[in-house]
Amino acid sequence: MDRKLLDILVCPASRQPLAMLEAAGLDALNRAIAAGGIRRNDEGPQADALREALVTRDRRTVYRIDDGIPVLLVEDGIATAQVEGFPKA
């Protein structure tokens, strides 16, 4: 993702800066998705694994990136509290 774009992106709900989700966080999230226990903020299931994602500074919410385009919709965010073993830092 373009660094200039990443520098201006913020969470649509909390207005916190966003950063690329590192490999350990992405792996933990995708394991939970594969197990079938992940729901988006709109209560819909997140069935597809993520190839890239953004995470809020407090690491409480993840937003997927589809084909290089961040999906910054509050209802499509994923709360990390539901991901067992999600890295806190």
Dihedral of the CA atoms 14, 7, 39, 80 (nearest 10)? -80
The predicted model scores a pTM of 0.93
Q: Is pLDDT of 89 > 80? A: no
The pLDDT mean for the chain works out to: 94
**Closest listed residue to residue 61, CA positions, set 32, 86, 36, 37:** 86
CB atoms within 10 A of CB 46: 20
